[in-house]
Homo-oligomer: A and B are copies of this chain.
């Protein structure tokens, strides 16, 4: 029997900070494209069929047999999982705090470090989840135009020289979402050194870094300075439903975030954290698993870009990224927001570039995820996209 409140709707007055949080156009869009008739490149999900379900089932069965893993755990995370992540990231356990996905690390860091009006610099195009988080704490958000070689540290240095004093600079250094690009070692070093010089925190948001198709692994940004916080995640290399992410930061930042986490949700799941720790510790298996995922994504990325080049010719600008899950393409002269309806009508979906804009005009851009479709499906999707463009 539904209670009376199912039938009535008293007025709701959102707080000012709640009203400041934009909804995610991407998530709203995803709902519209969830039909089998649409080949969706709009999502940010990893490939379901590449999730190591059997290994997760085995690790879960082992963990659930330990009753202590069914209890509350420490706000900073299960000790042994902090140690596993510390080995995985080559840091000390005291630098690790386990979060409920790396998005929680981002929201707790924003709450911990940002006062209303503080300047926060983000990439433009921006990871939408970062935009939501920094809007919710009332930050003065500045978009730093992303370059083909990642974050524009030279421009940032000029802004600082001109007096800008950011509290946080947030960037996705490897296989950018949505930009696809990566910052090389020189940019990582320059960014970390700039942070030390001007006293801001760098948040190096890195869920995709292990999914590399080609090129050498650069040293992490944190190796070049003292004010770099790294975010990591099990979602793209193991499974999103484990909801295990982490931050790597100086112990004082860890302690501050730990205190806020008590208030946010007390602690994470010891069970899920134990599963992730066990799988990270099985390094031979993990390397082979990640290589298999990255290999599949590489084949898909190449298939998509080749198909796009094939059907669009000169009408598209795109390239195969060095890793990750996203192609960031450009259709000069096309308004990709306006095109979306026709695209869905032709059975293909993507996210229009403007959804990732801080200030730039990204109306001819689009983000294409190649992670969840097969090579054949991606080729079909490219054809449908072209047909939608031609019909427009």
Residues of A bordering B, CB below 8 Å: 1-6, 8-18, 21, 23-24, 27, 45-46, 48-49, 51, 53, 56-57, 60-61, 64-65, 67-73, 75, 90-92, 94-95, 99-101, 103-104, 107, 111-115, 118, 129, 132-133, 136-137, 196, 199, 220, 222-223, 225-228, 235, 239-243, 248-253, 256, 259-260, 262-272
A222 and B3 contact, Cβ closer than 8 Å, known pairs A227-B10, A269-B272: yes
Q: Nearest Cβ distance between residue A115 and chain B, in whole angstroms?
A: 5
Chain B residues positioned under 8 Å from A252 (CB to CB): 9, 12
Chain B residues positioned under 8 Å from A61 (CB to CB): 57, 60-61
16 contacts between A and B (CB under 8 A): A2-B90, A4-B223, A4-B226, A5-B250, A12-B252, A12-B253, A14-B256, A18-B256, A45-B71, A53-B70, A60-B60, A71-B241, A100-B243, A103-B263, A136-B260, A269-B272
- Report how many copies the assembly holds: 2
Chain B residues positioned under 8 Å from A270 (CB to CB): 241
Residue of B91, B111, B133 near A136 (CB, 8 A) is B111
Do B137 and A15 touch across chains, with their CB atoms under 8 A apart? yes
Give Cα A53 to B70, complex, Å: 8
Chain B residues positioned under 8 Å from A68 (CB to CB): 48
Give Cα A91 to B2, complex, Å: 4
Do B226 and A100 touch across chains, with their CB atoms under 8 A apart? no
Residue of B64, B249, B266 near A103 (CB, 8 A) is B266
Q: Nearest Cβ distance between residue A114 and chain B, in whole angstroms?
A: 6
Do A49 and B21 touch across chains, with their CB atoms under 8 A apart? no
Give Cα A94 to B3, complex, Å: 12
Q: Nearest Cβ distance between residue A208 and chain B, in whole angstroms?
A: 15
Do A48 and B67 touch across chains, with their CB atoms under 8 A apart? yes
Chain B residues positioned under 8 Å from A266 (CB to CB): 101, 103, 129
Give Cα A222 to B268, complex, Å: 29
Give Cα A266 to B27, complex, Å: 10
Give Cα A252 to B100, complex, Å: 25
Chain B residues positioned under 8 Å from A133 (CB to CB): 263
A240 and B14 contact, Cβ closer than 8 Å, known pairs A91-B3, A252-B9: no
Q: Given A10-B196, A18-B259, 14 more contacts at CB 8 Å? A: A10-B250, A13-B113, A15-B112, A15-B114, A17-B137, A18-B260, A57-B61, A60-B60, A60-B64, A71-B239, A100-B265, A107-B265, A136-B263, A241-B271
Do A262 and B18 touch across chains, with their CB atoms under 8 A apart? no
Residue of B12, B17, B60 near A250 (CB, 8 A) is B12
Chain B residues positioned under 8 Å from A196 (CB to CB): 10
Q: Nearest Cβ distance between residue A340 and chain B, in whole angstroms?
A: 21
Give Cα A133 to B75, complex, Å: 15
Chain B residues positioned under 8 Å from A253 (CB to CB): 12
Q: Nearest Cβ distance between residue A191 and chain B, in whole angstroms?
A: 14
A90 and B269 contact, Cβ closer than 8 Å, known pairs A14-B113, A107-B264, A240-B71: no
Residue of B14, B100, B115, B250 near A15 (CB, 8 A) is B115
Do B265 and A15 touch across chains, with their CB atoms under 8 A apart? no
Q: Nearest Cβ distance between residue A251 and chain B, in whole angstroms?
A: 7
Do B223 and A3 touch across chains, with their CB atoms under 8 A apart? yes
Chain B residues positioned under 8 Å from A72 (CB to CB): 45, 235, 240-241
Residue of B1, B21, B69, B263 near A90 (CB, 8 A) is B1
Chain B residues positioned under 8 Å from A69 (CB to CB): 241
